[in-house]
Structure 1
Amino acid sequence: MANIRLAPVLRSYAGGSKQVSAQGSTLAEVLNNLYQNHPSLKEQIQPEQDLSRFVNVYINDQDVRYLQGLQTAVEANDTITLLPAMAGGR
């Protein structure tokens, strides 16, 4: 199972958990398994077919946008980090 680290702003959608686990051989499969256990995360991470452009997704600290996106291979001991983009300023 892959370990999924959730940014503080996403934890309330996963019962307050800082980290959860999910199964799958690709990022798409892992996320689908994650949504089965925590359905409210889907709207935050993947409201459409593709990933939200406001959420950065990393597998072992590599941005999946520079890999194969949702088709990026995931190994059992990989760490996936979900980080919503933050905006600020004037």
Structure 2
Amino acid sequence: MVRLKVTAKGQVTLKKEVLDHLGIKPGDEIDVDLIPERGARLRSVPSGNIEDFFNSFGNPHNIHATLEEIQDAIEAGWAGDVRFDDDP
């Protein structure tokens, strides 16, 4: 358990141990959910944008396909019209 002290201005400084556990860095945001019995739950707010999310997957073979090409591939797969290099 980590104990924090409230200042005369009603402020609390989160200790490094807490910030590290939540994965919070300078500039990040924290959500506080108020729960019954005078409790609260802290959660870090995910940062970044949708581009960062999709870029995290990588594309080592530099493959790009349109939605139509993806749909065609799905339909061909379901129809059994797709052969793989290791198929006899």
| TM-score for the superposition, normalised by structure 1 | 0.28
More RCO (CA 8 Å, sep 6+): 1
**Computing the radius of gyration over CA atoms, which structure comes out larger, 1 or 2?**
2
| TM-score for the superposition, normalised by structure 2 | 0.29
**Structure that is richer in strand per residue:** 1
